[in-house]
Structure 1
Amino acid sequence: MPDFSPTELAVPGFVALVLIEMIWARRRNPRAYEPKDTLTSLAFGLGSTVSGLLFGGAFLALFLWAWQFRLFDVPWSWWAFALCFVLDDLAYYWVHRFGHRVRWFWASHVNHHSSQHYNLSTALRQTWTGFLTLGFAFKLPLVLIGFHPGMIAICAGFNLIYQFWIHTEAIGRMPRWFEAVMNTPSHHRVHHATNPRYLDRNYAGVFIVWDRMFGTFEAEVDNEKIRYGIVKQLGSFNLLWAVFHEWIGIVQDMWRAPWGSKLGYLLREPGWTHDGSRETSDMIRQRWQERQGEQTKSVSTENPIAGEAEPA
């Protein structure tokens, strides 16, 4: 096993970039940082590090055990690292997508979305309870193909490092070719938004091409102000509530639900209820689209010329 952790080496860079962004925010966007919110994000990062130390070894041991059943012996070469990085990012896309579409996974991932601010410190809001979701299983196919668990861990570390810099409002758009292939601050702002048009979009880690391929891409619209956070905001800076509130909600919902609906509160999408008393992201987006259609129809009726197509 290589004794190399890219994320640990990147920590000083993370700190330096947060300080630089704070200086920028004081002059250009004073609302970007809120002291209590930033402290909560830092506490999230510390707790996540501790959680990783406690449970990471067990997952690595499991991967090493599974590696004995590999189909091939993938060498430690540059092309293998490149291929592993791409495939690891594809696996990340799917575990991230499940993190938004299955409440069991969302209970862990919601931590990352709990801030109503969007800055580099938000990137530190990593889960403490990821081990409960068993999301590591999405990367087991890479182990069984023959990629060494150490190689996968290194690639995952660089993936996490890449995602740090896209948590900012200080950068508008990157060059068009870059926006077409890579995940960027613009694309990831969409992912963190609660606006109906943006809900559950842009799951990519590094390569935005996965969202374009699988129909989950949404471009940022310049004339619509982004609202960050979660649909039902926490309304609190209490760290433990921020970490565990969704797990508590799952237990409460399952306790109260009829027997035939209990698993739905665990395995269905966030917001699902057996009686329709809450809304899922799909329901929110559909209602918004219907309202947009009604507004367009109203404008077309009031001004028939505006609704006519121009001649070819």
Structure 2
Amino acid sequence: MAFDTKLLVPLIFAGFALLEIVTRRFFQHEKGTARDVWIEAIGTPVFILITVPAIFFTAPALMNWVFPGSENAWASLPWWGMLAILLVGDDMTQYWWHRASHTHPWLYSFHRAHHSGQYMSIRIAYRNAIAYYIFMPGLWIAAVLVHLGFGPVYAIYLLVKMTVIFGAHSAVRWDEPLYKIKWLSPVMWVVERTISTPATHFAHHGMHKDDGVTHYKGNYGNLLFFWDVLFGTAHITRRYPAEYGIENLDDRGAGGELGWPLIRK
């Protein structure tokens, strides 16, 4: 990604991590295991340092091969047009990829690492099998759009999107105190139906579907929770599950969760 703000996303991630460390919510000693540490310590760097650069190198190369001279071909579009295309091409397709990963057993094996940890934290933001991101349509579409001239708009879009996603996973629940301010209730009604918040995304990570909060088969949105509202998968309670993880989880090692389908144990 050849734009100056590319380092800001890791810095935002580090900021959330530091906030969790300061508030003693990062290490999750009481819930985490050595297996969790391996999954996160390997998966996150591989995604940031290998998978994303590889996709953003390969997609433009393929575009130049199939459509010679296509670089910056759409650079004259207005910023709002680029934003609309990004929201559909990247964020909405990510909603459907995420949803498919919960409805198709084979795809779920790509994604189960994201839910097998029994805690919420910035640590799990990138916690998936390596192949989950390799095949994610939105990443490839975003790389193509940057090649076509969306770079400056994508840089800002990415910063906003990742801040929302990190905030929705962080153990520091930024929305919780805002729900207690009565005059903010109408504002939060709009916010929680527009973007992913800790309350809506924590519900997606809950362990027990009968607790009245957990909504494992829904709340799939990443940046925009609006996709859940639009496509009928939203569940809003302004509460948080008592437990996180996967019910009746079968044994699988860190290698099996990161390396599926090449490693299955």
TM-score, normalised to structure 1, is 0.62
Is 2:201 the counterpart of 1:184? Answer: no
Equivalents in 1 of 2:64, 2:15: separation in Å?
35
How far is the alpha carbon of 1:126 from its aligned partner?
4.1
Distance 1:127 1:57, change over 3 A: farther
User: Matched residue of 1:231: which SS?
Assistant: coil
String of CA shifts for 1:57-104, please: whole Å, max 9, x gaps.
22343355566799x946253223322332232222112211222234
Distance 1:241 1:207, change over 3 A: same
2:200–2:219 contact (8 Å) kept in structure 1: yes
Of 202, 215, 229, 2:232 maps to: 215
Equivalents in 2 of 1:63, 1:102: separation in Å?
30
How far is the alpha carbon of 1:40 from its aligned partner?
3.5
Equivalents in 1 of 2:31, 2:63: separation in Å?
39
> In terms of mean alpha carbon deviation, does 75-84 or 152-161 score higher?
152-161
Distance 1:234 1:200, change over 3 A: same
Determine which structure has greater relative contact order: mean sequence separation of CA pairs < 8 Å that are 6+ residues apart, divided by chain length. Answer: 2
Equivalent residue, structure 1, for 2:158 = 157
Q: Which has the larger radius of gyration?
A: 1
2:117–2:245 contact (8 Å) kept in structure 1: yes
Equivalent residue, structure 2, for 1:273 = none
Distance 1:205 1:170, change over 3 A: same
Equivalent residue, structure 1, for 2:7 = 8
Equivalent residue, structure 1, for 2:181 = none
TM-score, normalised to structure 2, is 0.72
Equivalent residue, structure 2, for 1:81 = 82
* 2:235 partner amino acid: E
Equivalent residue, structure 2, for 1:121 = 123
Is 2:112 the counterpart of 1:97? Answer: no
1:97–1:203 contact (8 Å) kept in structure 2: yes
String of CA shifts for 1:124-160, please: whole Å, max 9, x gaps.
314411366x43279659969x964757864773333
2:110–2:257 contact (8 Å) kept in structure 1: no
Is 2:243 the counterpart of 1:241? Answer: no
* 1:86 partner amino acid: L
Distance 1:211 1:104, change over 3 A: same
Equivalent residue, structure 1, for 2:215 = 198
For structure 1, the 5+ residue unaligned runs are 253-312
Equivalents in 2 of 1:59, 1:230: separation in Å?
35
1:84–1:151 contact (8 Å) kept in structure 2: no
1:84–1:155 contact (8 Å) kept in structure 2: no
For structure 2, the 5+ residue unaligned runs are 179-187
Aligned 1:132-147 pairs, distance under 5 A: 134-136=135-137
Equivalent residue, structure 1, for 2:20 = 21
* 1:52 partner amino acid: V
Equivalents in 1 of 2:155, 2:190: separation in Å?
27
* 2:61 partner amino acid: A
Q: Percent identity?
A: 20
Distance 1:35 1:109, change over 3 A: closer
Equivalents in 2 of 1:101, 1:6: separation in Å?
35
2:120–2:171 contact (8 Å) kept in structure 1: yes
2:60–2:143 contact (8 Å) kept in structure 1: no
Equivalents in 1 of 2:220, 2:33: separation in Å?
28
Distance 1:228 1:185, change over 3 A: same
